[in-house]
Amino acid sequence: INTDATVVIRYTIAADGDCAATSDDVTFTVTPVCDVVADNTTSTASITEDETKTLTGAPTGGTWSIVSGGGSISGTTYTPDDINTDTTVVIRYTIAADGDCAA
């Protein structure tokens, strides 16, 4: 759960003889710990313009984007542009915001 949750805990003492059952409630909020960290585990090994690179990241469910250097991404496959000089490409792996947890 990645949003605040309200929890109600009830303590009850059962009826006993002439004494009726009794209970008391306590309400509190549980706030999520946003400890999900996107981890781009893609190999940094160089490729040539006629090769592709498989993108890997954790946890699953993130999205890929090219920050700089060009090329295209389809699913988890990066394909470089046709180039004339060596080009450094920066690819970002992002886990989307969820409830109170930021991207």
The residues, any chain, with a CB within 8 Å of residue 101's CB and separated by 6 or more, are: 2, 32, 34, 36
Question: According to the model, what pLDDT value does residue 100 have?
Answer: 74
User: Per-residue confidence at 1, pLDDT binned at 50, 70, 90?
Assistant: low
Alpha carbon 76 to its chain's center:
16
Q: Output the pTM of the full model.
A: 0.69
Measure the N-to-C terminal CA separation of the chain; round to a whole number of Å: 15
Give percent of the chain with pLDDT exceeding 90. 76
Question: According to the model, what pLDDT value does residue 5 have?
Answer: 87
Domain positions in the chain are 39-94
Could you give the CA distance from residue 44 to residue 78 in angstroms, rounded to a whole number? 13
β-strands 90-94, 5-13 pairing = unpaired
Average confidence score pLDDT of the chain: 91
pLDDT in tens, 48-76: 999 999 999 999 999 999 999 999 999 99
Helix, strand, coil tally for the chain in percent (to 5): 0, 45, 55
DSSP letter at 71 equals -
Cβ-count burial of 65 within 10 angstroms (0-12 exposed, 13-18 middle, 19+ buried)? exposed
The candidate with the shortest Cα–Cα distance to 36, out of 62, 16, 12, is 62
